[in-house]
Amino acid sequence: MDGDGRAVSNGIAPPPFQLPAPDSPDVITANMTRLTDLTVNDRQRFLFKNLVSHLHSFVRETGLTTKEWEETILFLTRTGQKCTPIRQEFILLSDVLGVSALVDAINNPPENGATESSVLGPFFTDDAPELANGESIASEGKGEYMYVEGRILSVDGTPIPNAAIETWETDANGFYDTQYEGRERADCRGRLHSDKDGYFGYRAVVPVAYPIPGDGPVGELLLRMSRHNMRPNHLHIMVEAPGFRKLVTAFYPEGDTYIESDAVFGVKKSLVVTLETVKDEAEARKRGFPKGDNFKLLRRDVILVPQS
């Protein structure tokens, strides 16, 4: 809109070539393909051309009806409307369609014994509290005690000091803190750093299997596909250090019912871990747990890949 309240164009002139009238499906696709050639950025032009090719082929091959097209537009609209600053329904959609896991697998292939990556998921927030080693990411009463420890190492075994570690998980009810109404502060999540020897350790709770949100379009989609909406129990960890590739991963305690049918395809064999049971009251107090005589121990090093 200009100063006089009139609608204005984006300032781009008509294409420097003539397009035939879109009188047939093939002409529509050909015109759209030719218009993508106007894209200045090489990578974006490549992506747009392939997107148009596959999208138009899908429409033709399936004989997509007008009603199905309208329903799809409404589905995507509702997906966007369900998003909030602490809920990402579009990431959830990408997750259940296997796209998130596929992008992750293509961009982060296994390398030199490094810790493998996993999907970020829709529940990451940037307001996790800063913690010192040994402190707890979970408030009291959130679940069965668990202590997580290990070292941040390079692929050659060299300890990485002061690596930034972001971690988050569900409570014993299977909910992230963002799923509770009236959330006032972060819980079951934290941010800490490895020490001079690469060591890190913190108190947490044993995560449980949980359903991804079923009250939105993605939940409806899973029902239509006759798929369950469960994720196996897991602990998210994201690690960053100067000179190394950022790692987004998760550890999955063995034995969960859904470990072989994760709704978002996040489990990798190398990320399945064993939880040790420690039954020692003195050790529990030493680790900072306020009561009880036992806890679970997750001991696992995280191996990062140097940036090339």
Q: What is the pLDDT of residue 83?
A: 95
Residue 257 pLDDT exceeds 80:
yes
Q: What is the pLDDT of residue 15?
A: 95
Q: What is the pLDDT of residue 218?
A: 97
Residue 213 pLDDT exceeds 80:
yes
Q: What is the pLDDT of residues 93-142, one digit of tens each?
A: 999 999 999 999 999 998 889 999 999 988 999 999 999 999 999 999 99
Amino acid at the residue 232: P
From residue 282, alpha-carbon distances to 23, 135, 201, 296 in Å are 80, 17, 18, 14
Residue-range domain boundaries for the chain:
25-64, 89-304
At residue 68 the predicted structure's pLDDT band, cuts being 50, 70 and 90, is very high
Q: What is the pLDDT of residue 132?
A: 98
Tell me the percentage of the chain whose pLDDT exceeds 90.
94
Q: What is the pLDDT of residue 2?
A: 80
- What integer is the mean pLDDT of 215-232? 97
Contact 284, 295 (CB under 8 A): yes
Residue 278 pLDDT exceeds 90:
yes
- What integer is the mean pLDDT of 58-66? 98
Q: What is the pLDDT of residue 86?
A: 82
Tell me the percentage of the chain whose pLDDT exceeds 70.
100
Torsion of CA 308, 192, 145, 276, to 10 degrees: 30
On average, the pLDDT of the chain sits at 96
CA angle 259, 265, 267 (to 5 degrees): 45
Query: With left for phi above 0 and alpha for psi between -120 and 50, is residue 252 left, alpha or beta?
Result: beta
Residue from 254, 233, 241 nearest 302 by CA: 241
Q: How many C-beta neighbours within 10 Å does residue 30 have? A: 15
Q: For 95-111, give one letter per residue: b (16+ CB within 10 A) or e.
A: bbeeebbeebbeebeee
Q: What is the pLDDT of residues 5-30, one digit of tens each?
A: 899 999 999 999 999 999 999 999 99
CATH class of the structural domain 89-304: mainly beta
Q: What is the pLDDT of residue 40?
A: 97
